[in-house]
Amino acid sequence: MHTEQPHVTLHFLGSVPRARLPELTQGIGVRFEPFELGFGHPELWHGGIAVLAPDVVPAPLLALHGALGEALERRACRRKRGPIVRT
């Protein structure tokens, strides 16, 4: 990842066939309340993945995570289940 393109992974989907991408990108649009996210501390996850984790997860982010998960399930998209932030 380039430093000028940070991102937040809300649901890890793994390998998705290209044929499903239009269905997923057009079909999972969900409304959400804007929020601010501050990154508080570094963590090292399994496999050597370095992340900056938030000290506080805003309620609107939790709601967005849930809504996206439901939209993915409606499209029978497998995803890795787990908390939005590892503890």
Out of 1-10, 30-39, 46-55, 75-84, the most confident range is: 30-39
Predicted pLDDT of residue 79 = 65
User: Residue 58 pLDDT more than 60?
Assistant: yes
79 close to 72: Cβ distance less than 8 angstroms? yes
pTM above the 0.75 mark? no
The domain spans of the chain are: 1-87
Tens of pLDDT, residue by residue over 64-81, are 999 988 888 888 776 666
d(CA 63, CA 67): 6
CA 42 to chain centre: 18
d(CA 77, CA 82): 15
Nearest C-alpha neighbor of 52 from the set 2, 9, 4 = 9
